[in-house]
Structure 1
């Protein structure tokens, strides 16, 4: 099981700007924990996401000499991808491709068709730079806009991505609409149909829902999971303000109950947990 810690997702919607030096301290604490990957920042318009305008400065302050954790940066277009692949420290470039046409327009100001064109360009950029492109299928469990949604549609979009050479795909529950049953059904079908793909679960939850969702993903065969300490963050467009990221501490506890040991440094984890209070 690969655990992806997502401080970028947790921070990006905050009303206050987290000072660059505090971001660096927090991320360096997370790098000591032993996560597989850290979703640490994004190369997007500072007008769209002011919180992430200092991603390059933050990256320069990270201590990567003693960590096994890999870095992932989110981008919204080709320009962002060009920036991300120029940094040797970054291994993964993430892009949100929506199952919902409305959300794709809101999130990246492009249609799904245009976004697919971007994905093709990003895949070429990543391949040329030795990076891996991670596609997040936003609104992967339904949407609040009345746009078409079905399991078959998710499979169809995944098929197109696979044909483009994408090997890491993370269906994302942007507004917290998934249930244990829909999580298990979706991932079982995808993993069976595309065994060559590494499927990740990027789920948003209401308080108390995380353990059942984690167990459902594990039952389906998911081997990559996203979380954020204390469940901070989530999508600003979610209708329920209580809907946030999967709390990493609940993911770890549930996985331990399922007999899955991620080899986390508990002392470093508690240090990061304490520091998170000052960040958020």
Structure 2
């Protein structure tokens, strides 16, 4: 049996403050700022801080402008901050608040697109042009996240050609990078590799990342498959928090501490301190007021059981 081939480094984006909290009962801006501080202390290079979306649809993200203000007061250095948007108007709000790395979501599945963005996949994809104009107009970078890339809670399996088509068109309209999202946590390693290969073939050299949920226990296995397929940008959420309010049955993301544990043991550089992530997870648990999904958080590191 041949040995696995590991990259030198993997770039982790911490999505706990946005994806992790968006389905939770809203917590205060002050509490979020404490979590952001704890996540900065982990050394993670990128943090998805908030989302500029409808506060009626996602109440937990209603304080996006306040979060931007807090980040702006932290001064230079630290992680790269990003914000998620679902429309050109959201992109304008995010850039006006100071964000220069913007994530725009397009659902490859028609059913989820209409539930999430109140418009079909084609219309949402064509809006990439307007979002790109807003982002590039302030010297920013646009990442298009393709949600329900593998499966949809309403439509069932997403035809790979749909995801590939969204990816190709997003690049044509100005996306600087792409990320494939397993929104409801249904994919598996073989499907991960097949779709990453297909999208990579039309990505025109743009960076390609992956975002996995652990709904069916496949999250870390899928992350491993993605890394072995050449992906070096992965999303993860502290404590395994997360889920989509517009995707029935979706549960938490892969846990940051579990991804770091996997990569550390393989000698892959992440720049992330595992003990600091466990500290941030303990804070996240206290802030949301319920147990976390992460097995590693419950068990503790190899040499330091948490009891």
TM-score by length of 1: 0.92
In the alignment, the residues of structure 2 paired with residue 183 and residue 131 of structure 1 have an alpha-carbon distance, to the nearest angstrom, of 29
Kept in 2: contact 1:33–1:266 (CA 8 A): yes
Are residues 1:72 and 2:72 paired? Answer: no
What's 1:8 paired with?
18
1:224 maps to which of 227, 233, 237: 233
In the alignment, the residues of structure 2 paired with residue 28 and residue 55 of structure 1 have an alpha-carbon distance, to the nearest angstrom, of 16
Q: Which runs of 5+ in 1 are unaligned?
A: none
Q: Which runs of 5+ in 2 are unaligned?
A: 1-9, 289-307
Offset at residue 66 of structure 1 (A)? 6.2
What's 1:26 paired with?
35
Please say which of residues 252-261 and 207-216 is displaced more in the overlay. Answer: 207-216
Are residues 1:96 and 2:105 paired? Answer: yes
Kept in 1: contact 2:185–2:218 (CA 8 A): no
CA RMSD after TM alignment: 1.9
Kept in 2: contact 1:10–1:233 (CA 8 A): yes
TM-score by length of 2: 0.84
Kept in 1: contact 2:23–2:60 (CA 8 A): yes
Total equivalences in the alignment? 277
The residue correspondences of 1:55-204 to structure 2 (distance < 5 A) are 55-62=64-71, 64-65=74-75, 67-88=77-98, 90-146=99-155, 149-204=158-213
Question: What do the CA deviations read for 1:75-112 (whole angstroms, capped 9, x no partner)?
Answer: 12111111111133x23111110111111111111122
Kept in 2: contact 1:32–1:67 (CA 8 A): no
Offset at residue 248 of structure 1 (A)? 0.7
In the alignment, the residues of structure 1 paired with residue 219 and residue 267 of structure 2 have an alpha-carbon distance, to the nearest angstrom, of 17
